[in-house]
Amino acid sequence: MNDRIRIAIFTVVEVTALVIWLALVRSVAGIYRVSIGSLVTGLAVLAVGITIEHVLAYNVINRRGLLDLRGAPVGKKAVVSVIETGIWALWLALADLNGIVAAVVLAVLLIVEHTLSDNVFKDRGIFSRLIDARTIGFSIIETAGAAIWLVLVEAGQAIVGIAILAVASFIEHLMAVALGRREAVRA
C-alpha cells in the first residue's frame, strides 16, 4: 500500500478522535461545561484514538504492516499519547479564555510531544530528548489547523473546520514520517 494512503489512514484516525472528543466535551454552555461522563468519555476517546494513530505511524515509519503489533512499542506510544491528550485538553481550556495564548501553548507543547514521539520512533528512551528543532515546522502547522478548526466550529462551520484540520494533520504527518525515517542525530 502506498505510504500516502497509509499516512491518510492514521490521519483519519487522529482527526476522528479529535472531532469526537470535541463533540463530547463542548456544549452550548461552553467548553468543559458537560457532564463528568461526557468529559471522561471524551478524554478516553482521544487517548485511545491518539494511541492507535501513534502505533500506525510507528508502523509506517518503520515500513511494517500497518496493523502489525508484534514488537511495536505500544506501551511507550500509549505514554506519549496520554501526554498528547493532556496537551489537547489544556489547549481547549485555554482557548476558552484566550485563543492566541492557547495556540502558542499548543505549539510549544506539541514541539515537545513530537520530539518525544520521534524518540520512540527511533527506539530511544521516551524522554531522551525533549526538544528537536526539526519538529517546530510541523508542530506549527498542526497548531494552525487546530486553531482554525476550533474557530470554524464555534462559527457553525464545523465541516470546513474539520477539512482544514485534516489537511493540516496530513501535512504534519507527512513531515513527521520523513523525520522519523531519518537516522537519529547524535547529541
Q: Domain limits at 165?
A: 3-181
- SS3 state of residue 30: strand
What are the pLDDT digits (tens) for 62-113? 999 999 989 899 999 999 999 999 999 999 999 989 999 999 999 999 999 9
Is 186 among the domain residues?
no
Is 187 among the domain residues?
no
Record the pTM: 0.93
Q: How open is the CA angle 179-4-159, to the nearest 5 degrees? A: 105
Rg for the chain, CA atoms, rounded = 16
Is 115 among the domain residues?
yes
What are the pLDDT digits (tens) for 72-84? 999 999 999 999 9
Domains identified in the chain, total number? 1
